Structure 1
Amino acid sequence: MKILVVGMGLIGGSICKSIKATTTHTVDGCDVQPEVLEQALQDGAIDGTGRMEDGTYDMVILCLHQRIAIQMVQEALPHMQAGTILVDTCGLKGRMVRDLTYRCRKHGVRYVGTHPMAGREKSGYYASIPDLFLRANLIVTPVDDTDPEALETVTALAREMGFGKIVTATPMWHDNMIAYTSQLAHVVSSSYVKDFCMDDALSFSGGSFQDMTRVATMDESMWSALFLDNRDNLLYHLDLLIENLTDYRDALKQRDEERLQYLIAEGRQIQEENVRKRKEQLENS
Structure 2
Amino acid sequence: MNSDFKNRPVAVIGLGLMGGSFAERLTELGCFVIGFNRTEETAEQALRMGLVQSVNPQDLKKADIVIFCTPVKGTLAFLKEHGDWLKEGAVLTDIAGVKDHNWPRIRELLPPGMDFISAHPMCGREGAGLAQADGTIFNNCNYVLIPEKENEPEHLELIARLARALGAKHIPRVTAEEHDRFIAYTSGLPHAVAASLMNSESYEKDTGMFIGGSFTDATRVADINGRLWTSLFLSNRDKILAEMDSFQESLCKLRKALETEDAEALCEFFTEARRRRREMIHHGSR
Query: TM exceeds 0.5?
Result: yes
User: How far has the Cα of 1:69 moved from its partner?
Assistant: 1.2
User: How far has the Cα of 1:52 moved from its partner?
Assistant: 8.4
SS at match of 1:86: strand
Identify the residue that residue 13 of structure 2 maps to in structure 1: 6
Identify the residue that residue 262 of structure 2 maps to in structure 1: 256
What does the per-residue CA deviation read over 1:87-139, in whole Å, with 9 as the maximum and x for residues that have no partner? 111111112234324542x6221111111111111211111123221222211
When the two chains are superposed, the root-mean-square deviation of aligned CA atoms in Å is: 2.0
CA distance, structure 2, for counterparts of residue 6 and residue 207 of structure 1: 36
Cα pair distance change 1:175/1:34, threshold 3 Å? same
Moved over 4 A (4+): none
Checking the alignment, whether the CA contact within 8 Å between 1:112 and 1:140 is kept in structure 2 is yes
Checking the alignment, whether the CA contact within 8 Å between 2:34 and 2:59 is kept in structure 1 is no
Checking the alignment, whether the CA contact within 8 Å between 2:13 and 2:36 is kept in structure 1 is yes
Q: 2:105 aligns with which of 84, 99, 107?
A: 99
Checking the alignment, whether the CA contact within 8 Å between 1:78 and 1:107 is kept in structure 2 is no
Cα pair distance change 1:131/1:269, threshold 3 Å? closer
User: How far has the Cα of 1:30 moved from its partner?
Assistant: 0.6
What does the per-residue CA deviation read over 1:182-209, in whole Å, with 9 as the maximum and x for residues that have no partner? 1100000111121324433323221111
User: Can you give the 5+ residue segments of structure 2 that lack an aligned partner in the other structure?
Assistant: 1-7
* TM alignment of 1:54-203, pairs within 5 A: 55-78=61-84, 80-101=86-107, 103-104=109-110, 107-193=112-198, 194-203=200-209
Q: Does 1:274 align with 2:259?
A: no
User: How far has the Cα of 1:218 moved from its partner?
Assistant: 0.8
CA distance, structure 2, for counterparts of residue 179 and residue 126 of structure 1: 28
> What letter is aligned with 2:152?
D
CA distance, structure 2, for counterparts of residue 52 and residue 155 of structure 1: 27
User: Can you give the 5+ residue segments of structure 1 that lack an aligned partner in the other structure?
Assistant: none
User: How far has the Cα of 1:13 moved from its partner?
Assistant: 0.8
CA distance, structure 1, for counterparts of residue 283 and residue 87 of structure 2: 44
Identify the residue that residue 3 of structure 2 maps to in structure 1: none
User: How far has the Cα of 1:54 moved from its partner?
Assistant: 5.4
User: How far has the Cα of 1:160 moved from its partner?
Assistant: 2.2
Checking the alignment, whether the CA contact within 8 Å between 2:61 and 2:87 is kept in structure 1 is yes
SS at match of 2:281: helix
TM-score by length of 2: 0.89
Q: What is the number of equivalent residue pairs in this alignment? A: 278
Checking the alignment, whether the CA contact within 8 Å between 1:17 and 1:130 is kept in structure 2 is yes
TM-score by length of 1: 0.90
Q: 2:234 aligns with which of 219, 223, 228?
A: 228
